């Protein structure tokens, strides 16, 4: 009789961010022997370097900005100031309170073995970490992604900021050139502009936030320009950067004309690449620079190895990585009743002010699929709350199919990330605009804009 192979662990999870943490915990609670490996700070990107610290600073910035403009409500607040080191202390407190950052102890309390270092596959069932060899019957790869600098002449020769390193700065730069106007580029542009930075926001696409509906990018460009003095450089290709005295000179081309601007700092927010440098060839796992290939059950070409989160190459939100982590854990624990992640109603969020939230198909998605649609937009200024809060920059937009079933929606408003969930439910469960419109919406809530937009589609 063949000798049964014994492994050190039932499951080794590589990466302790959103894509790995849930699976490790669920597997350990199901009685499996689990190890988790982290090359950077335990907890991964979201609690340490992105979501939590960015939102903590954005909350403070938006509070400061609102208060500074309080004269219209009769508040004497024009002399308000800020102390940036204290703001950083607040950010660090928020990270600490959330508890998911630097949380190695949490895993150890759950009975999960922890290792700090780079994991590298030696064989399909064996990895090395800091010259130690560990084996497992199953693996989950959740190594996430990392910021990559675009190919711009001179960029390699000068120091530049990333969305991670700018949060560690001792003070906001006097001027900043941001390359990339996706969610993170736009959030940082508003954050820094509120604290007095002169911001240039460069984007190759024809609008800011190119993955959102056109109205969103146009509105945010106007809001950032009028309220914060941000210069949006859409359809701009950054050509080169050179050191210029104490600052940097950036040359870009726009509308066929070459121009240059001198700034203190440059921030790269153009994109992330999956972190796939872990000897996947030795594990016979198919991948490309764009990410690891998985089936609908999140299994790689090596059936005993799962993958979840940004390493799959779809630069998703943290809640999507968590969903995938939970599905991968289920499929490892219950191989006979495998599940597939359902992404239909995952909201997409940008935490600016006004906030931006969308769900389901965008108008561009519908055009690409040749879907006949109806759409309606309700501007914020038609609901009562916009008067009592003196805030009018935004809208609710709903897209339905020809039968009135809601396919997608976008909210641009204060608290957009909270308002979007009724539309996420509508998308997930195939509700019609008529059903949403006939649901009572609390008077003087921002959500009335949703009712109005849905009502326009019923007529």
Domain 348-458 has CATH 3.30.499.10: no
pLDDT tens sequence across 21-37: 999 999 999 999 999 99
Q: What is the pLDDT of residue 412?
A: 98
Q: What is the pLDDT of residue 228?
A: 86
- Which residues have C-beta within 8 Å of that of residue 144, sequence separation ≥ 6? 15, 17, 19, 44, 45, 274, 275, 309, 310, 311, 321
pLDDT greater than 80 at residue 315: no
Helices (H), 357-415: 363-368, 384-388
Same fold, 9-44+101-146+273-333 and 348-458: no
Q: Which residues face 409 on adjacent strands? A: 359, 398
Q: What is the pLDDT of residue 440?
A: 97
% of residues, the chain, pLDDT over 70: 99
243: left (phi over 0), alpha (psi -120 to 50) or beta: beta
Give the integer Cα–Cα distance in Å for 319 and 421: 13
Burial classification of residue 49, based on how many CB atoms lie within 10 Å of its CB (0-12 exposed, 13-18 middle, 19 or more buried):
buried
pLDDT tens sequence across 365-379: 999 999 999 999 999
The CATH H-level (homologous superfamily) assignment of domain 9-44+101-146+273-333 is FAD/NAD(P)-binding domain (3.50.50.60)
For residue 68, what is the enclosing H or E element?
helix 51-68
pLDDT tens sequence across 33-58: 999 999 999 999 999 999 999 999 99
Give me the residue spans of the domains in the chain: 9-44+101-146+273-333, 52-91, 155-270, 348-458
pLDDT tens sequence across 160-217: 999 999 998 889 999 999 999 999 999 999 999 999 999 999 999 999 999 999 999 9
Long-range own/partner contacts, residues 54-57 (CB < 8 A, 24 or more apart): 54/163, 54/167, 54/184, 54/187, 54/188, 54/191, 54/351, 55/94, 55/351, 56/90, 56/91, 56/94, 56/95, 57/87, 57/90, 57/91, 57/167, 57/191
% of residues, the chain, pLDDT over 90: 93
Q: What is the pLDDT of residue 389?
A: 96
For residue 456, what is the enclosing H or E element?
helix 448-458
Which numeric CATH code is attached to 155-270?
Answer: 3.50.50.60
Q: What is the pLDDT of residue 1?
A: 60
């Amino acid at each position: 009789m063949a000798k049964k192979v014994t492994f050190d662990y039932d499951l080794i999870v590589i990466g302790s961010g959103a894509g790995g943490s849930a699976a490790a915990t669920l597997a350990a609670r199901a009685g499996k022997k689990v190890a988790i490996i982290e090359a950077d700070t335990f907890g991964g990107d979201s609690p340490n370097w992105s979501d939590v610290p960015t939102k903590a600073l954005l909350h403070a910035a938006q509070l400061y900005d609102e208060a500074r403009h309080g004269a219209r409500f009769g508040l004497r607040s024009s002399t308000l100031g800020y102390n940036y080191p204290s703001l950083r202390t607040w950010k660090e407190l928020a990270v600490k309170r959330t508890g998911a950052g630097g949380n190695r102890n949490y895993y150890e309390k759950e009975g999960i073995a922890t290792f700090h270092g780079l994991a590298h596959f030696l064989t399909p069932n064996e990895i090395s970490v800091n010259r130690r060899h560990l084996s497992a019957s199953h693996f989950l790869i959740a190594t996430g992604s990392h910021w990559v600098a675009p190919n711009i002449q001179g960029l390699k020769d000068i120091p530049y900021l990333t969305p991670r390193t700018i949060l560690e700065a001792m003070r906001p730069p006097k001027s900043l050139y941001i390359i990339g106007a996706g969610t993170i580029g736009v959030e940082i542009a508003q954050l820094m502009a509120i604290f007095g930075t002169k911001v240039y926001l460069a984007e190759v696409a024809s609008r800011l936030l190119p993955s959102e509906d056109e109205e969103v990018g146009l509105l945010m460009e106007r809001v950032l320009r009028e309220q914060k003095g941000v210069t949006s450089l859409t359809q701009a290709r950054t050509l080169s950067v050179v050191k210029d005295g104490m600052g940097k000179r950036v040359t870009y081309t726009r509308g066929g004309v070459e121009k240059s601007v001198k700034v203190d700092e440059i921030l790269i927010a153009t994109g992330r690449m999956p972190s796939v440098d872990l000897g996947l060839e030795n594990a016979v796992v198919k991948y490309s620079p764009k990410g690891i290939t998985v089936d609908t059950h999140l299994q790689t070409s090596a059936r005993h190895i799962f993958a979840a989160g940004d390493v799959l190459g779809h630069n998703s939100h943290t809640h999507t990585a968590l969903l995938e982590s939970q599905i991968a854990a289920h499929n490892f624990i219950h191989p006979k009743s495998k599940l597939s992640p359902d992404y239909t109603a995952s909201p997409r969020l940008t935490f600016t002010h006004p906030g931006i939230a969308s769900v389901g198909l965008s108008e561009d998605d519908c055009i690409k699929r040749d879907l006949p649609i109806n759409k309606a937009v309700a501007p914020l200024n038609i609901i009562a709350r916009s008067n009592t809060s003196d805030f009018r920059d935004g809208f609710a937009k709903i897209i339905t199919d020809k039968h009135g079933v809601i396919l997608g929606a976008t909210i641009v408003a204060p608290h957009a990330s909270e308002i979007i969930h009724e539309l996420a439910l509508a998308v997930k469960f195939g509700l019609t605009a008529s059903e949403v419109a006939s649901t009572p919406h609390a008077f003087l809530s921002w959500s009335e804009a949703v009712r109005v937009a849905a009502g326009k589609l019923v007529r």
